[in-house]
Structure 1
Amino acid sequence: MILLDGKKVAAFYRERIAQKLAAVTQRDQCPELAIVVVGDDKPSAMYAKSMQKTAASVGLTAAIYQKGGEASEEDVTALIESLNQNRQIAGILLMMPLPAHLDSQRIINKICPEKDVDGLTDSNVARLFTGRPAFVPCTPQAVMAILDYYHIELAGKHVVIIGRSNVVGKPVAQLCLNRHATVTICHSRTADLPAVVRQADIVIAAAGRAGLITGSMIRPGATVIDVGINRVDGKTVGDVAFDEAAAVAGAITPVPGGVGSVTTMMVLENVVHHFGNA
């Protein structure tokens, strides 16, 4: 069994990002990431700080733009439009969730698609689903980065995805289709989920339910990518019962230390890639 180590993949991309960044800064260009936080959601604030620290570790400036929870849609839109117009800002990352009184998708769509490094605007979603170049949500991008790093082929394989969210399940399905995989998307109303999962060459679990995928559901030798992040008894666990699945899988990601380790790097990869090609 191969342990698909997200930390190794993240280290590979960290070095690659640093090299790309060095190349553009030699041309007196200094790309920046703008992280927009609205309200007082603690996980969002923590992730913003973590993103800022990770960006600094590769030499990328990331500034946090904070708006209070009482901010109006006009206030947030005005901030985003000013960031759109700032040529040094290569990427805009809007932390979710937004306060309930704000229309999240309408605000997301104010982000210039070329700066939408988390791939959430309608424009980037449409580009992804029509096979055109686009920014892609960073967790699905991290899944693909792990598969690529470990040379796991998708063409001709049956991929079963558990979860149909707009930020993970649906985009990762499209990415796999673009690589010529046969894709099945499962969800809460899928009949006989274990039987469907057992057909998979590659299982991607992104349902947000701890231990949903058991070892008996994994075909011997299958690749298992666990996107889930759940807290159980004070521990972080995935959607896959790791020990059971690892006993039969050919390759598997751990939680923690798997997909989550790579996701932040995909944001930075998008920032530097866009700026270097602008």
Structure 2
Amino acid sequence: MKDVISSLYDSKMAALKAKIDAEKFDVKLTIVTVGDDPASKVYVRNKIRLFDELGLPCEHITLDEAGTTQADLDVLAANADHPMLFQLPLPNGLVAPDLPAAVDVDGFGSETLGQLVLGNNVVLPCTVQAVIDIIDNHYGENHFAGLKVAVLGRSNIVGKPLAIELINRQSTVSSFNSRSDLAAVDWTQFDVIVVATGFHGTLDNSQFVEGQLIIDVGINRIDGKLVGDVKHHEDVVSAAAITPVPGGVGRLTCLHVLGNAIKLCEMKQR
């Protein structure tokens, strides 16, 4: 699957480059971070590198953890006139401001999610779009209707908006969360299983069968290694197609920060 993800990334990147070159509109992103979270540093660095690669401006605002208040973040959001994101997690109980849809590059705001429920959204949350891309690449755009999909996790970032988008595409969606009895589920009944619980070992590769597509959204650090939410038994060769961690969903997610910024800037300049 790693080769599949790489090929998908390259084709999406080429399409974005061509769009920028053809349309000649201004694209800019502002990233706001608070504190010194090591994982956030990696994510932000990857996003900035992506914009630099295309010669696009990406402003990085870094705020001190001790002195930053919710009001400080709200002021930044209120004055945003181009795509912006607040890098999660935020410390000290701070929450990302509810950005209006016109600048909400992450797709987390109430206006963007409301548009998603109604099927009128311009952008999807970046990880959701990455998952949709992988399913589309595997089955084809015209095969979402009737596709049996299990979504494990109910976060506002992945689980909930993904389930809604799949419903919009007429898939048959089953949603599971931390209170679900996962041991009682026959996982072989699903065409696609998306695991986004943030817990390593939620499912394991012995539970899947040939023909299934398993999309592992999780990123966990176990014994110094990055692993997903799916546990891989070394003595089990799974017949299912399983996205790798690292080098899977996360790589496409970063790309869709760029893709969403382009869409929002395009909408503004029409």
Q: Could you tell me the TM-score, scaled by structure 2's length?
A: 0.89
> In 1, Cα distance between the equivalents of 2:214 and 2:236?
8
Q: Please give the per-residue CA displacement for 1:182-202, whole angstroms capped at 9, x wherever unaligned.
A: 111112221243524232111
Q: Partner residue of 1:265? A: 255
> In 1, Cα distance between the equivalents of 2:133 and 2:236?
22
Letter in 2 for 1:219: V
- Please say if residues 163 and 187 of structure 1, whose CA atoms lie closer than 8 Å, have aligned partners that are also in contact: yes
Q: How far 1:237 sits from its partner (Å)?
A: 1.3
Q: Partner residue of 1:17? A: 16
1:63 matches 2:59: yes
Please say which of residues 51-60 and 236-245 is displaced more in the overlay. Answer: 236-245
Structure 1: give runs of 5+ residues left out of the alignment: none
Name the count of aligned residue pairs.
264
Letter in 2 for 1:223: L
Q: Partner residue of 2:4? A: 5
> In 1, Cα distance between the equivalents of 2:73 and 2:29?
17
Q: Partner residue of 1:32? A: 28
Q: How far 1:224 sits from its partner (Å)?
A: 0.9
Q: How far 1:35 sits from its partner (Å)?
A: 0.6
Instruction: State which of 111, 114, 130 in structure 1 corresponds to 2:118.
Output: 130
Please say which of residues 216-225 and 168-177 is displaced more in the overlay. Answer: 216-225
**Aligned 1:82-121 pairs, distance under 5 A:** 82-84=79-81, 89=82, 91-102=83-94, 104=95, 107-109=96-98, 111-121=99-109
Instruction: State which of 135, 156, 170 in structure 2 corresponds to 1:166.
Output: 156
Letter in 2 for 1:214: D
> In 2, Cα distance between the equivalents of 1:8 and 1:172?
23
Calculate percent identity across the aligned residue pairs. 33
- Please say if residues 126 and 256 of structure 2, whose CA atoms lie closer than 8 Å, have aligned partners that are also in contact: yes
Please say which of residues 188-197 and 265-274 is displaced more in the overlay. Answer: 188-197
Instruction: State which of 152, 155, 179 in structure 1 corresponds to 2:145.
Output: 155
> In 2, Cα distance between the equivalents of 1:56 and 1:210?
33
- Please say if residues 21 and 60 of structure 1, whose CA atoms lie closer than 8 Å, have aligned partners that are also in contact: no
Secondary structure, in 3 states, of the residue corresponding to 1:5?
helix
**Aligned 1:176-215 pairs, distance under 5 A:** 176-193=166-183, 195-215=185-205
Q: How far 1:4 sits from its partner (Å)?
A: 6.7
> In 2, Cα distance between the equivalents of 1:227 and 1:101?
25
- Please say if residues 119 and 134 of structure 1, whose CA atoms lie closer than 8 Å, have aligned partners that are also in contact: no
> In 1, Cα distance between the equivalents of 2:162 and 2:139?
17
Structure 2: give runs of 5+ residues left out of the alignment: none
- Please say if residues 150 and 173 of structure 2, whose CA atoms lie closer than 8 Å, have aligned partners that are also in contact: yes
1:61/1:149 Cα in 2 relative to 1: closer, same or farther (>3 Å)?
farther
Secondary structure, in 3 states, of the residue corresponding to 1:189?
coil
1:121/1:245 Cα in 2 relative to 1: closer, same or farther (>3 Å)?
farther
> In 2, Cα distance between the equivalents of 1:23 and 1:112?
27
Q: Please give the per-residue CA displacement for 1:228-264, whole angstroms capped at 9, x wherever unaligned.
A: 1111222211122346775221x22111121111001
Letter in 1 for 2:78: E
Secondary structure, in 3 states, of the residue corresponding to 2:79?
helix
Q: How far 1:169 sits from its partner (Å)?
A: 0.9
> In 2, Cα distance between the equivalents of 1:148 and 1:13?
13
1:247 matches 2:238: yes
- Please say if residues 2 and 247 of structure 2, whose CA atoms lie closer than 8 Å, have aligned partners that are also in contact: no
Q: How far 1:181 sits from its partner (Å)?
A: 0.8
- Please say if residues 214 and 244 of structure 1, whose CA atoms lie closer than 8 Å, have aligned partners that are also in contact: no
1:228/1:82 Cα in 2 relative to 1: closer, same or farther (>3 Å)?
same
> In 2, Cα distance between the equivalents of 1:193 and 1:222?
18
> In 2, Cα distance between the equivalents of 1:170 and 1:245?
31
Letter in 1 for 2:20: L
> In 1, Cα distance between the equivalents of 2:92 and 2:149?
36
- Please say if residues 161 and 206 of structure 1, whose CA atoms lie closer than 8 Å, have aligned partners that are also in contact: yes
Secondary structure, in 3 states, of the residue corresponding to 1:113?
coil
Q: Partner residue of 2:69? A: 72
